[in-house]
Structure formats: structure tokens, C-alpha cells
Amino acid sequence: MQLIQESIDNVEMNENVTSQEEFDSEFDELILNKSSVKDDLTLPDDLNLDQILDRIYFNDPVTAMQDHANRIINDINKIKYIQFCKKEYAFYSALIGSSNT
């Protein structure tokens, strides 16, 4: 039974590594494909980017997937993360502005 569980865990981890590589390339592609963001663009003062990551981090991971999610969070390039958030904020701000709501 232990051998079966170890095999399942190994398969999950191999799938997770492939998933991580796909995530990294998709994240990089998203950043490159977005229109350039002005350097002076600022996010709202009450938007705490570190707090967002803290809220999705598993303090006591139980599953291999939760542990893998924590590793992704730990490995996020902070500069790319901030650029991504700024671009998303700019995009949705423009969308809301153009929708006359």
C-alpha cells in the first residue's frame, strides 16, 4: 500500500512540475503580450500585493498540490508579479471607464 501511495505522489509531482513550467511560460507570455504599462502607474494604496499572496498561501499544507502551490508562491518573481498586477489594474480600470458604469 505504501508503494502505491508513493507512486501516486510521484505521478502527481511530475504532473505538477509540467504544470509549473506551463504556468511560468503562460505568465511570461501574458506579461509580454499586454500593452506596456507606464512607469508612473500606481496601484491603489489599499491594494496590498503581499497580502494577496499571503491569503492564498497554505500555512499547513496537507496535500501535495497545496505544497506545490506554496512553492509557486515562493518562487514568484516579485518584479514580474508587480508588473502583471499593474497591467491588470490598468486594463480593468480602462474597461470600467469605457463601460460608463
Q: What is the DSSP string of 43-99?
A: --TT--HHHHHHHHS-SS--SHHHHHHHHHHHH--HHHHHHHHHHHHHHHHHHHHHT
- The stretch 39-68 carries a mean pLDDT of 89
Residue with cell 499547513: 60
Q: Between the CA of residue 85 and those of 8, 10, 20, what are the distances in Å?
A: 36, 33, 20
Quick one: pLDDT at residue 74? 93
pLDDT of 36 reads 52
Please state the pTM of the whole predicted model: 0.55
Range of the domain at 46: 2-98
Using only the alpha carbons of the chain, give its radius of gyration: 18
How many structural domains is the chain composed of? Answer: 1
Taking residues 40-68, report their average pLDDT: 91
Rounded average pLDDT over 58-85: 93
Residue 96's pLDDT is: 81
